[in-house]
Amino acid sequence: MAAEKWILTVTARTPTNIAVIKYWGKRDEDLILPINDSISVTLDPDHLCTTTSVAVSPAFDRDRMWLNGKEVSLSGKRYQNCLRELRSRASDYEDENKGIKISSEDWQKLHVHIVSYNNFPTAAGLASSAAGLACLVFALAKLMNVKEDYSKLSAIARQGSGSACRSLYGGFVKWIMGKEESGHDSIAVQLADEKHWDDLVIIIAVV
């Protein structure tokens, strides 16, 4: 890790999803493992989405997060589970032009700053946590050069918010409940992409 005070940033945007077949409870609260499969439809990110920017720098002395302009704590188990899983999978990163060199071991010591914004109301039944945690995991995975596919990332996002695993894909998505106690097989898979049912329209009425 070079000594210069550099900063590295990544921005991502992730849509929310609405369940068409819901999951009815959890068999493991800590890992957020459901008692049944579920299926959702992902909404258009141009209308309902979370935009998250993540940054890393040797100048940061602790992990920090701002949600919709207000700082929130990252000490909760769900955030910590996601951060731990991503840091354990981080890869070497190098940008010769900017003089940035980060080894996989450096990610355990470096701190991140996270700025997240929802363009729709929270706690309004529109699954803001699903979009938020999916975006957080996706953005951090890009920042940390995590080389996992979407299904593996969905298992990480699930530990932050159950339905977040489904927001990593467009179209119709199935969250497989899985059978393993570790939760490694409780992942999301895409059943049909966003072009499959092109004339489907979802209307959200503000009353």
- For residue 204, tell me if it sits in a domain: no
As a whole number of angstroms, the distance between CA 82 and CA 124 comes to: 24
Which secondary-structure segment (H or E) carries 20? Answer: strand 17-21
150-158 and 128-143 helices, crossing angle to 10°: 130
Model pLDDT for residues 48-97, shown as the tens digit of each residue: 999 999 999 999 999 999 999 999 999 999 999 999 999 999 999 999 88
Q: Per-residue pLDDT for 4 more than 80?
A: no
pTM of the model: 0.92
Section 17-38 average pLDDT: 95
Q: Per-residue pLDDT for 14 more than 60?
A: yes
Confidence bin at 2 (pLDDT 50/70/90): very low
As a whole number of angstroms, the distance between CA 178 and CA 186 comes to: 4
Model pLDDT for residues 160-174, shown as the tens digit of each residue: 999 999 999 999 999
Question: What is residue 32's DSSP assignment?
Answer: T
Q: Any idea what the CATH number is for the domain that residue 164 is in?
A: 3.30.230.10
As a whole number of angstroms, the distance between CA 98 and CA 86 comes to: 24
How high does pLDDT run on average in the chain? 93
Residues in the chain: 207
- For residue 65, tell me if it sits in a domain: yes
pLDDT score recorded for residue 76: 93
Total number of domains in the chain: 1
- Name the β-bridge partners of 192: 172
β-pairing, 172-175 vs 93-95, is unpaired
- For residue 174, tell me if it sits in a domain: yes
Q: Per-residue pLDDT for 123 more than 90?
A: no
As a whole number of angstroms, the distance between CA 119 and CA 189 comes to: 26
Q: Which domain covers residue 114, as residue numbers?
A: 8-192
